Structure 1
Amino acid sequence: MAYEVKTVESKEQWDSFVTSHPEANFLQSWQWGEFHTSRSKTIVRRGIYDDNKLVAVYTGHVEPARRGIHLEIAGGPIVDWQNQSLVEKVFADIADMAKRLGCVYVRIRPQLLDSPTARHQFGNLGLKKAPMYLSVELAGVIDLTKTDQEILQGMRQRLRRALRKAEKNTITVEKSTDPAAIKEFYKIQLQTAGRHQFVAFSEDFLTKQFAAFAKDNSAVLYTAKYQGEILAQNFMIFYGNEASYHYGVSTELGTTLSGAPLLHLQAMRDARERGITRYNFWGIVDETDTNHRFYGVSVFKRGFGVEELRYLPAHDLIINRTAYLKTKLIETTRRKIRRV
């Protein structure tokens, strides 16, 4: 079979293909590439065609890291994993593009559930498990074909009490698609990062990311307020079949008055109105990993009664084996220090 591989130039063609796959999310969207372009990153958007019909795609961006220049492909490629000849064509093109771009390796975290079969397939393609994660590997999701009442019944009692408390306190929810609103989100993120000991994203990073999706009404900032004071904010992305809780922040007052659960319920209702059937709380950590810095927030997310999806962990396609040794050493050490 003679496949044709080329750069995809049409946003409409790209998003139509990606959103036709229910497992896909915004990490392979056209807008995700636009975000990286706005940050002066080199991106690739490649499509594989069979008789002029698009049958697989992948998008990624080049990270000019000192530990090793590499191509990152998160949530992709979008391909029929049962079609081995097509999969091989995709990965041959990925390797070729990485070489052209001067990359030491390619890091890939596919939208593929973890299994011995998937690991064997990646091993046969010449990939090795990466020393550092790429995007979410364990996600908590909720089926939005359920009603509000069914979702509430599946929640832990503590969360249901928090929601009743929020309603009793007449907490309000506001929505915005204005990138300028990220300024306040960024300020609260700095406070949240201080309390939970993580490195905050820059205001520029958050604003450009939000702006890339807000152009299509795909990004919404939800804000819970009590008597005019902000309690919590959620940065949501709606794309294809998935509503993603991408980032969230809360004030000290918000931790007392429990504004965050109310934001999630509202976002779920809005997602249903868009025809979306999956709500993704994004990353969680194993219940036994009590020393992980995100263990606490994972407990909160599990409180909603999520179904856990474990994706195949990040794998590396090594282009320059000698230079890659430096990357592996640095990242193995870094992961231990950061407790991630």
Structure 2
Amino acid sequence: MNILAATNPAQWDTFLAHQQHRPFLQSWTMGEVYKDVGQNPLRLEVRHNNTVVGICQATLVPARRGRHLSIPYGPVLDPKHRKEALPLLIAALKEEAKKQNCSFVRLSPFWLEKEEIEGSKPSPMHLLAEHLWYIPLMENDPWAENKEGPMRAEEEVMMEMRKTSRNLVRRATKDGVTIVRSTDPVKDLPGFIELHE
């Protein structure tokens, strides 16, 4: 089984057309749309005996939360070859993400069953699909849970904010808005949602 850069739109779309789920965000045409808006898609295909058994279209996202590869509703893999193809494809995606100086890879495969991807964890942010996987590429994972105990000092948090955000927080305080740290966020969530409606 090989992972190659895809070059043939007809083979790509033929494979996609024969799958049970055919997400348009993984179509060759959608990759051309990405190109038209200045985002070069990364297209990888998995081949077994010279037959396409999987495709994966990713785009580079230069987000403030971390530069990453985003794979909406992908990868799309032939169910018969998924177990063998997925680890190879993930390794190729990690390698490409590191070349692009990414912090992580975000996948949202359109799979009905909840199949975990080894070395990943459920993503803290939703992209498109029901099951979203986050693959950290750095030792210091910014999305890792804080298991060190006490919360950080307010000034430390403020210094990490953008200047505009810091100014808005300070102005809100002057206008009488109080900022309270929740001890039970789940319990306080309904009140928070009510404020935003």
TM-score (ref. length: structure 2): 0.68
2:122 matched to which residue of 1?
A: 129
The answer to whether the 8 A contact 1:24-1:75 is kept is no
Instruction: Note the 1:45-56 alignment, pairs <5 A.
Output: 45-56=43-54
Task: Please say which of residues 68-77 and 31-40 is displaced more in the overlay.
Answer: 31-40
Aligned to 1:20: 18
Q: For 2:31 and 2:98, locate their aligned partners in 1 and report how far apart those are by CA, in whole Å.
A: 20
Report 1:110-149 matches (<5 A).
110-115=109-114, 118=115, 121-122=116-117, 125-135=118-128, 137=129
Bigger share in helix: 1
Structure 2: gaps (5+ residues): 147-159, 161-188
In structure 1, distance between residues paired with 2:143 and 2:127 = 18
Q: Is the 8 A contact 2:124 2:143 kept in 1?
A: no
Q: CA deviation at 1:327?
A: 9.1
SS in structure 2 of the partner of residue 62 of structure 1: strand
Aligned to 1:320: 138
Specify which of 27, 30, 35 is matched with residue 29 of structure 1: 27
8 Å contact kept, 2:19–2:78: no
2:55 corresponding residue in structure 1: 57
Residues 131-163 of structure 1, C-alpha deviations (whole Å, 9 max, x = no match): 11011x3xxxxxxxxxxxxxxxxxxxxxxxxxx
Amino acid at match of 2:123: A
**Which secondary structure state, in structure 2, belongs to the residue aligned with residue 33 of structure 1?**
helix
Please give the secondary structure, in 1, of the residue aligned with 2:76.
coil
1:37-48 alignment, distance < 5 Å? 37-48=35-46
Q: Deviations over 1:211-238 (max 9, x none)?
A: xxxxxxxxxxxxxxxxxxxxxxxxxxxx
CA distance in 1, matches of 2:127, 2:145: 14
Partner of residue 304, structure 1: none
Instruction: Tell me the secondary structure at the aligned position of residue 91 of structure 2.
Output: helix
The match for 2:73 is: 75
Q: Contact 1:81–1:87 (CA<8 Å) still a contact in 2?
A: no
Question: Shift of residue 107 of structure 1?
Answer: 0.4
RMSD: 2.5
Q: How does 1:224-303 map to 2 (within 5 A)?
A: none
Determine if contact 2:23/2:73 at 8 Å carries over to the other structure.
Answer: yes
The answer (yes or no) to whether the contact 1:106–1:317 under 8 Å persists in 2 is: yes
Q: Which runs of 5+ in 1 are unaligned?
A: 138-310, 331-335
The whole-number CA distance in structure 2 between the counterparts of 1:98 and 1:131 is: 19
Q: 1:14 to 1:23 in 2, by over 3 A?
A: same
Report the number of matched residues. Answer: 150
CA contact (8 A) 1:67 1:326 kept: no
- What SS class does the counterpart of residue 57 from structure 1 fall into? strand
Cα 1:96–1:325 shift into 2, 3 Å: same
